[in-house]
């Protein structure tokens, strides 16, 4: 019934400015809504499945991301020749790049995400922090952008050590340095600024008190173009190595209903402060007394969005498309219920003890299934992993009626998973599912680095 009629009114042909599993994820929602998908790919991604799954595909340049997935002129040309009317950014690459978004706006191309004005703020951690302060959202004791070393020393004396030097433009766990005393600050500040300039093209850094043993808990936001903003509850992402998430779960075993509700309200308030439109996530650090502090907003889809989708029944990527199409949110805050418990395991091509990435050919692959199991991936048997991109091969998502069932299902599904030819995190995840702190829910962001990381 009605399968030929598109559910999209204003955007019809959508170019996906990304690769890997998130490109596949986007193609699925675009097709279900009746839109057309255009994949872009690099010379290093000629064997990538996203290119075959899309309705059309265009090569945009060399394997190095700078020549392809970050190559703005080449991507805009692809939009033009393919007659696409919208761009889906995914995560990473150009997803939070206000320059790219402003160019789309000027050319009348719908960017499926917030405005360039919003991204000028949320894509910059120091500016986002200032917006949080304006909106009366609790932040970690810290500083505005550091002017010079004297300024930094003065502020650091006020905040107290240990603290973090953070790159305003940082992301993906990169651009952060722990500083334990003034001597280290003097030594590390210029290095941090140089690194920020080299890695993110912006030397701006700021200081933030380093919270010991915190939890990372974030709130998923959906906002339409008419000022309706709701949240879909939280995800706990405290299982991290080197400040990057590897297991996420929802709901968080640590939150009480009161704090959950309070965090949701605060996140919505922040989103309204920055005129947020689309799907985004407000990230918080939560200390052992359950005080929560804003750290940043990701103005884009997040890797771990499926755990929220499976416990609430809300298709977040479809809503990104509908919102960009100009449709109003039809879900109300009171409709959102966390009906199940879900866990996501990032299956990265990394050594399960050192977390060092490796590449190779997928010689054998068996993907688990059954009740309560979802796998989002772009890999297939025979696929050769290119060396240029991040190590995420697949996301294994399990859900059950409660946390215990989700954990049991996680063990079962991980044991079924077969990936031969490259080392993956599978065995690490199985170990973690026997860890006492994970099982009782008390784990914090330091667990993996403290207990499981073997330096090479």
Catalytic residue list = 300
- The answer to whether residue 249 forms part of the interface with ligand ADP (CB under 6 A) is no
Using CB under 6 A, pick the residue from 214, 278, 372, 410 that binds ligand ADP. 214
- Give CB contacts under 8 A, 24+ apart, made by 188-196: 189/146, 189/149, 189/152, 189/165, 190/149, 192/165, 192/167, 195/167, 196/167, 196/168, 196/169, 196/170
Stretch that binds ligand ADP, among 99-107, 208-216, 309-317, 372-380 (CB under 6 A): 208-216
DSSP string, 341-405: EEEEEEEESB-TTT--B---B--EEE---STTEEEEE---TTPBPPTTS-SEEEEEEEEESSHHH
Q: Which is nearer to Mg ion, 132 or 367 (CB)?
A: 132
Stretch that binds ligand ADP, among 8-16, 186-194, 302-310, 318-326 (CB under 6 A): 302-310
Residue in the block written with tokens 């103005």: 299
- The answer to whether residue 20 forms part of the interface with ligand ADP (CB under 6 A) is no
Contact 172, 106 (CB under 8 A): no
And the tokens for 3?
A: 């399968």
For the bound state, the minimum distance from the C-beta of residue 235 to ligand ADP, rounded and expressed in Å, comes to 9
CA distance 172 to 243: 8
- The answer to whether residue 445 forms part of the interface with ligand ADP (CB under 6 A) is yes
Contact 218, 284 (CB under 8 A): yes
For the bound state, the minimum distance from the C-beta of residue 394 to Mg ion, rounded and expressed in Å, comes to 21
The option from ligand ADP, Mg ion, none interacting with 410 (CB < 5 to 8 A, set by class) reads: none
For the bound state, the minimum distance from the C-beta of residue 123 to ligand ADP, rounded and expressed in Å, comes to 7
Between CA 76 and CA 84, with CA 82 as vertex, the angle to 5 degrees is 75
- The answer to whether residue 298 forms part of the interface with ligand ADP (CB under 6 A) is yes
Q: Give the CB-nearest residue to Mg ion.
A: 283
Q: Order the strands of the 392-400 sheet from edge to edge.
A: 292-298, 278-286, 215-223, 229-241, 244-250, 341-348, 392-400, 373-377
Binding to ligand ADP (CB under 6 A): which residues in 157-176? Answer: 164, 170-173
For the bound state, the minimum distance from the C-beta of residue 4 to ligand ADP, rounded and expressed in Å, comes to 34
- The answer to whether residue 211 forms part of the interface with ligand ADP (CB under 6 A) is yes
User: Omega into 441 within 30° of 0, i.e. cis?
Assistant: no
Using CB under 6 A, pick the residue from 30, 146, 219, 295 that binds ligand ADP. 295
CA distance 281 to 258: 20
Q: Which is nearer to ligand ADP, 124 or 325 (CB)?
A: 124
Binding characters for Mg ion, 230-249, by CB under 5 A (x = yes)? --------------------
Using CB under 6 A, pick the residue from 42, 220, 302, 348 that binds ligand ADP. 302
- The answer to whether residue 349 forms part of the interface with ligand ADP (CB under 6 A) is no
- The answer to whether residue 140 forms part of the interface with ligand ADP (CB under 6 A) is yes
- The answer to whether residue 132 forms part of the interface with ligand ADP (CB under 6 A) is no
* Strand 215-223 versus strand 278-286 pairing type: antiparallel
Contact 234, 262 (CB under 8 A): no
Binding characters for ligand ADP, 359-398, by CB under 6 A (x = yes)? -------------------------------x--------
Could you give the 3-state DSSP secondary structure of residue 448?
A: helix
CA distance 392 to 347: 6
Q: Which is nearer to ligand ADP, 244 or 338 (CB)?
A: 244
Could you give the 3-state DSSP secondary structure of residue 432?
A: helix
Q: Which residues bind ligand ADP (CB under 6 A)?
A: 91-92, 96, 140, 164, 170-173, 208-211, 214, 216, 240, 243-245, 283, 285, 295-296, 298, 302-304, 390, 445
Q: Which residues bind Mg ion (CB under 5 A)?
A: 283
């Amino acid at each position: 019934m009605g399968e030929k009629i598109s559910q999209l009114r204003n955007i019809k042909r959508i170019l996906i400015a990304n690769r890997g599993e998130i490109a596949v994820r986007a193609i699925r929602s675009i097709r279900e809504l009746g839109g057309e998908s255009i994949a872009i790919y690099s010379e290093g991604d000629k064997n990538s499945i996203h290119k075959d799954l899309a309705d059309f595909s265009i090569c945009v340049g060399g394997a190095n991301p700078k020549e392809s997935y970050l190559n703005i002129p080449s991507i805009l040309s692809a939009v033009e020749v393919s007659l696409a009317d919208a761009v889906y950014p995914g995560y990473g690459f150009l997803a939070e790049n206000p320059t790219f978004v402003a160019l789309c706006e000027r050319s009348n191309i719908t960017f499926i995400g917030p405005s360039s004005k919003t991204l000028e703020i949320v894509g910059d951690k120091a500016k986002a922090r200032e917006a949080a302060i304006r909106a009366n959202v609790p932040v970690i004791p810290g500083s505005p952008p550091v002017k010079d070393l004297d300024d930094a020393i003065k502020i650091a004396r006020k905040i107290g050590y240990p603290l973090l030097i953070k790159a305003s433009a940082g992301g993906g766990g990169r651009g952060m340095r722990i500083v334990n005393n003034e001597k280290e600050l003097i030594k590390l500040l210029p290095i941090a600024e140089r690194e920020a300039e080299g890695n993110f093209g912006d030397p701006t850094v700021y200081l933030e008190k380093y919270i010991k043993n915190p939890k990372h808990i974030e709130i998923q936001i959906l906002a339409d173009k008419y000022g309706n903003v709701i949240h879909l509850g939280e995800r706990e992402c405290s299982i991290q190595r080197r400040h990057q998430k590897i297991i996420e779960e929802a709901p968080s075993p640590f939150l009480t209903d009161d704090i959950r509700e309070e965090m949701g309200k605060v996140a919505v308030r922040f989103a309204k402060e920055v005129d947020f439109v689309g799907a985004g996530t407000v990230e918080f650090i939560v200390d052992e007394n359950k005080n929560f502090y804003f750290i940043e907003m990701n103005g884009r889809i997040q890797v771990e969005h499926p755990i929220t989708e499976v416990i609430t029944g809300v298709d977040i990527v479809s809503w990104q498309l509908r919102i960009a199409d100009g449709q109003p949110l039809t879900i109300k805050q009171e409709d959102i219920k966390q009906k199940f418990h879900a866990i996501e395991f990032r299956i990265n091509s990394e050594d399960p003890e050192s977390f060092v990435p490796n590449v190779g050919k997928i010689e054998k692959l068996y993907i688990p299934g059954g009740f309560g199991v979802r796998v989002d991936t772009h890999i297939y048997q025979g696929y050769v992993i290119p060396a240029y991109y991040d190590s995420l091969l697949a996301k294994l998502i399990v859900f059950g009626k409660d946390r215990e069932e989700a954990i049991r299902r996680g063990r079962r599904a991980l044991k079924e998973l077969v990936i031969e030819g490259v080392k993956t995190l599978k065995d690490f995840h199985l170990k973690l599912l026997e860890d006492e702190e994970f099982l009782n829910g008390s784990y914090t962001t330091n667990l993996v680095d403290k207990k499981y990381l073997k330096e090479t």
